[in-house]
Amino acid sequence: MSKVMEHHGVVIVGGGPAGLAAAIAAYEAGQHDVLVLERDVQLGGILNQCIHNGFGLHTFKEELTGPEYAARFIQKAQELDIACRLGTMVLDISPERVVTTVSAADGIRTIAADAVVLAMGCRERPRGALATPGYRPAGVYSAGTAQRLVNIEGQMPGREVVILGSGDIGLIMARRMTLEGAHVVCVAEVMPYSGGLKRNIVQCLDDFGIPLLLSHTVVDVEGKDRVEAVSIAEVDERMRPIPGTEVRYPCDTLMLSVGLLPENELSRAAGVELSPVTRGPIVDQSLQTSIPGVFACGNVLHVHDLVDFVSQEAAEAGAQAAHFSMAKDAQDGAAERGVPVVATDGVRYTVPSFVDPQKMADKLTVRFRVANEYCDRYVSVYYDDERVQHRKKRVMAPGEMEQVVLKREDLLAREGLAQITVKLEEE
């Protein structure tokens, strides 16, 4: 038992786009002892199954497919000779940053880390979200599972398909199934608007004449062993099905695209404080969680729809983790959380939730999502009672992430600042 525990400067949990960008940035910030832990047998995360184009428009000014976007970061990590341990699942992270892993090759191992970056991504909301009575026959898939079956395994989940939920994965799968020869009967969405990107509605539904039924939901699933039909009804403003509006659609497959949840079992067990809104860690300007030296980025922090923003955010987390790991003396003090950023009046949440003006960079991007579809609203930032930003946006929707930029000099100029508020205003 006298073996010395394995030790690394920055340990990154997850080798998707967030983990890769964090690893590269940590290396470039001067910390060369970086280790990436990935449970899958390959790097790239969810991008491996996202074979459609539309990635990297902001970063590379071209439309890449998911695997191509991932490959650019994988190659960069290889050029820097960053250690990546595949087939290695992280089981536990302690508040002292001891990471426990398991793999077929090495069994159980413990690794001490000066800094940890959480980059575990997200998972789909389970089908329990489908509040229908009756059996649970075969043929009900989450859209992401179906995507993996078709694109990685080369198997077709079914031939007559109804999709519930118009998030991007549902829209992308409507097109994918159509191209593979299936018939997509319709996409039903309980909200009066789609949570997906406009370009996906046009290119995945309109191009193929697939109807999008807004304010509709599945009220019944028929079939004992295999789905035989689903019934869809219109809903009222309070999202209750309206009696008499049911229509029965024969089908063999029901796909659910009802949202994503950050994958935070590990964070929770480590004692990281989580936000009830994003379900991800509450972080400060350095993307540091409530545990000093533990940082978070990508979909584990809050669900992103554009991978470019994941990469940007993760690069920041990686660099901050590197600084933390190299500034040993600054470590482990009680985390000073800085000025709280409050989201209100149509702004659902902000990342980060705290800003320490002393420690922030010259400019800090605060990302947020709005609660509803809005036209001609102003995005306002208040420092205490003083309005410092007021910018009109023609259209905002919950499906698209928004941002404001805070300047360090402005914050430093206001000594004793107690609260930063981000909200929407009509004028």
Ligand X SMILES: Cc1cc2nc3c(=O)[nH]c(=O)nc-3n(C[C@H](O)[C@H](O)[C@H](O)COP(=O)(O)OP(=O)(O)OC[C@H]3O[C@@H](n4cnc5c(N)ncnc54)[C@H](O)[C@@H]3O)c2cc1C
Single out the residue of 100, 70, 83, 110 nearest to residue 10, CA to CA: 83
Pattern 17-56, binding to ligand X, x per CB under 6 A?
Answer: xxx-----------------xxxx----xxx--x---xx-
Is 79 a binder of another protein (CB under 8 A)? no
CA dihedral 42, 125, 281, 24 (to 10 degrees): 20
Is 247 a binder of another protein (CB under 8 A)? no
Residue 22 vs 381, nearer CB to ligand X: 22
Burial of residue 145 (CB within 10 Å: 0-12, 13-18, 19+) is: middle
Is 90 a binder of ligand X (CB under 6 A)? yes
β-bridge mates for residue 88, sequence order: 103
Residue 52 vs 423, nearer CB to ligand X: 52
Is 58 a binder of another protein (CB under 8 A)? no
163 binds, among another protein, ligand X, none (CB under 5 to 8 A by kind): none
Pattern 94-133, binding to another protein, x per CB under 8 A?
Answer: ----------------------------------------
Minimum CB–partner distance for residue 202 and another protein (Å): 5
- Read off the DSSP letter of residue 32: -
Pattern 152-181, binding to another protein, x per CB under 8 A?
Answer: xxx------------------------xx-
Is 151 a binder of another protein (CB under 8 A)? yes
Contact 156, 182 (CB under 8 A): yes
Contact 111, 33 (CB under 8 A): no
CA Rg value for the chain:
23
Q: Which two tokens stand for residue 258?
A: 């009802």
Contact 26, 323 (CB under 8 A): no
Is 13 a binder of ligand X (CB under 6 A)? yes
The residue range among 215-223, 282-290, 302-310, 406-414 that interacts with ligand X, by the rule CB under 6 A, is: 302-310
Contact 310, 287 (CB under 8 A): no
Residue 391: other Cβ atoms inside 10 A:
10
Residue 107 vs 154, nearer CB to another protein: 154
Is 392 a binder of another protein (CB under 8 A)? no
Element spanning 369, H or E = strand 363-370
What distance in Å separates the CA atoms of residue 57 and residue 62, rounded to the nearest whole number? Answer: 5
Burial of residue 6 (CB within 10 Å: 0-12, 13-18, 19+) is: middle
Residue 204 vs 424, nearer CB to ligand X: 204
Single out the residue of 352, 332, 334 nearest to residue 342, CA to CA: 352
The residue range among 48-56, 132-140, 316-324, 327-335 that interacts with another protein, by the rule CB under 8 A, is: 48-56
Pairing outcome for strands 294-296 and 107-118 = parallel
Is 195 a binder of ligand X (CB under 6 A)? no
Residue 53 vs 389, nearer CB to another protein: 53
Side-chain half-sphere of 413: how many Cα atoms within 13 Å? 9
Residue 35 vs 406, nearer CB to ligand X: 35
What distance in Å separates the CA atoms of residue 211 and residue 374, rounded to the nearest whole number? Answer: 24
Pattern 197-226, binding to another protein, x per CB under 8 A?
Answer: xxx-xxx--xx-------------------
Minimum CB–partner distance for residue 303 and another protein (Å): 17
**Binding residues vs ligand X (CB under 6 A):** 13-19, 37-40, 45-47, 50, 54-55, 89-90, 119-121, 147, 168-169, 172, 263, 266, 298-300, 304-308, 310
**Binding residues vs another protein (CB under 8 A):** 41-42, 48, 51-53, 63-68, 71, 150-154, 179-180, 197-199, 201-203, 206-207, 394-395, 397, 400
